[in-house]
Amino acid sequence: LKENPKLCQERSVQGLDTFQPLATIMPQLLVRQQEWKMKRRRLMEEQQQTVDMRSDGSSYSNCADKKEEEDINLSFRTAKHLRVHFDDNMVSALRIETENKMNLKAENNNHTKKNENESTLNHNDAFSSSSSSWESYWSKALSRTDGATSEITNPSKVSSSINNNSNEVLLQDASIVRSILLHDVNLIVGFHPDQATEACIDLALLLRIPFAIVPCCVFPSEFPNRFYDCNEEEDEKKGDDDDVSSFSSSGKEEKTVKRRKKVKSYNDFIIYLKRKHEKIKMDYLDFFHETDTARRIVLYMLPEDFKE
């Protein structure tokens, strides 16, 4: 839209099928961006003058400059990108980190001051092990991403779109990424995230942060181990032997009300995801399609849903 003003104008007309809300505010965003560039340029010039004044031996306070710079940064935050697969491997690696952190906290609480030195030693050993585990995952994740990027027709275009944009940062340092994911993330949003759908919800539940996910494709062949318990009343359609199994409370296979169904359809997927937490809510996004095939169910949890 930014690079095609004519297209932006066409898509800013409400009521048309091509309407895009972002197109209506694009002119204001461009003006704001230009103002930011001018402020930034002026700030850099003033800072340079400050350096010249100090070289003459005169005193100068740059508090005003810092305040202006903070205002600019609040207006335009730098986008940070993780070009890795958002999958169960990431969630599992972060789960190890959170478990180690909880174990260390419990261990330190149980130690008395008499064992303070020993506790510190154990803490350092565990932290080192945790860091090594994460770095191992991160190294493999980056290698996997590089392999996927090399299969793209024009991978250089993908890299340049991020690396050459001064307003974007590609995060690759293992310790920085771990710290951001564990401490700075406060919302996860996914619109038709395909294979990353379940991982989005799992990570949000692990970190106990709100999320809003709009599931779409199921990919049953890529995730053959997805099952959920259902009653015969909930699943009137009989499945194949590979899709549904019946179990009694004792675990012996027999005809009973309780059944275990394989996730193969969109409806199955919604049920499966909702059952990950009792407070997961469901709603519908306000858009429609003439064929009624557009997936618009949104699953979400709010901050208060994590309060005990």
Q: Which amino acid is at 140?
A: K
Query: With 50 as the cut, is the pLDDT of residue 241 above it?
Result: no
Query: With 80 as the cut, is the pLDDT of residue 232 above it?
Result: no
Predicted pLDDT of residue 2 = 82
Query: With 60 as the cut, is the pLDDT of residue 285 above it?
Result: yes
Structure tokens that stand for 10 in this block: 């066409």
Predicted pLDDT of residue 169 = 74
Mean pLDDT across the stretch 109-125? Answer: 54
Predicted pLDDT of residue 57 = 56
Residue 132 bridge partners (DSSP): none
Mean pLDDT across the stretch 183-188? Answer: 92
Mean pLDDT across the stretch 232-236? Answer: 53
Mean pLDDT across the stretch 217-242? Answer: 74
Predicted pLDDT of residue 245 = 53
Cα separation of the two ends of the chain: 44
pLDDT band for position 214 (cuts 50, 70, 90): very high
DSSP for the chain, please give it: --S-HHHHHHTT-TTSTT--HHHHHHHHHHHHHHHHHHHHHHHHHHHHHHHHHHHTT-----HHHHHHHHHHHHHSPPEEE--S--SHHHHHHHHHHHHHHHHHHHHHHH--GGGHHHHHHHHHHHHHHHHHHHHHHHHHHHHHHHHHHHTSS-HHHHHHHHHT-TTEEE---HHHHHHIIIII---EEEES-GGGHHHHHHHHHHHT--EEEE-----TTT-TT-EEEEETTT--S---TTTEEEB-TTS-B-S-SEEEEE--SHHHHHHHHHTT-TT-EEEE-S---TTS----EEEEE-GGGG--
Mean pLDDT across the stretch 70-87? Answer: 68
Mean pLDDT across the stretch 147-172? Answer: 58
Going by C-alpha positions, the residue among 91, 222, 85 that lies closest to residue 149 is: 85
The CA-atom distances, in angstroms, between 175 and each of 25, 84, 131, 206, 255 are 37, 15, 8, 19, 52
Measured CA to CA, the distance from residue 226 to residue 201 in angstroms comes to: 15
For 43-70, how does the pLDDT look when each residue is reduced to its tens digit (9 = 90+)?
Answer: 888 777 766 655 555 544 455 455 454 4
Q: Are 269 and 179 in contact (CB under 8 A)?
A: no
Structure tokens that stand for 61 in this block: 């306070």
Measured CA to CA, the distance from residue 220 to residue 112 in angstroms comes to: 52
Query: With 70 as the cut, is the pLDDT of residue 199 above it?
Result: yes
pLDDT band for position 234 (cuts 50, 70, 90): low
**Which of 110-119, 123-132, 152-161, 296-305 shows the highest mean pLDDT?**
296-305
Q: Are strands 168-170 and 79-81 parallel, antiparallel or unpaired?
A: parallel
Mean pLDDT across the stretch 276-281? Answer: 96
pLDDT band for position 250 (cuts 50, 70, 90): low
Structure tokens that stand for 88 in this block: 């169960």
Q: Are 184 and 177 in contact (CB under 8 A)?
A: no
Structure tokens that stand for 66 in this block: 């810092």
Percent of residues, the chain, with pLDDT higher than 90: 37
| 282 vs 168, higher pLDDT | 282
Least confident residue range of 75-79, 95-99, 251-255:
251-255
Query: With 80 as the cut, is the pLDDT of residue 104 above it?
Result: no
Query: With 80 as the cut, is the pLDDT of residue 92 above it?
Result: yes
Going by C-alpha positions, the residue among 138, 125, 123, 134 that lies closest to residue 97 is: 134
For 8-55, how does the pLDDT look when each residue is reduced to its tens digit (9 = 90+)?
Answer: 999 999 888 899 988 998 888 888 878 888 888 888 887 777 666 555
* Mean pLDDT, rounded, of the chain: 77
Q: What is the CA radius of gyration of the chain?
A: 26
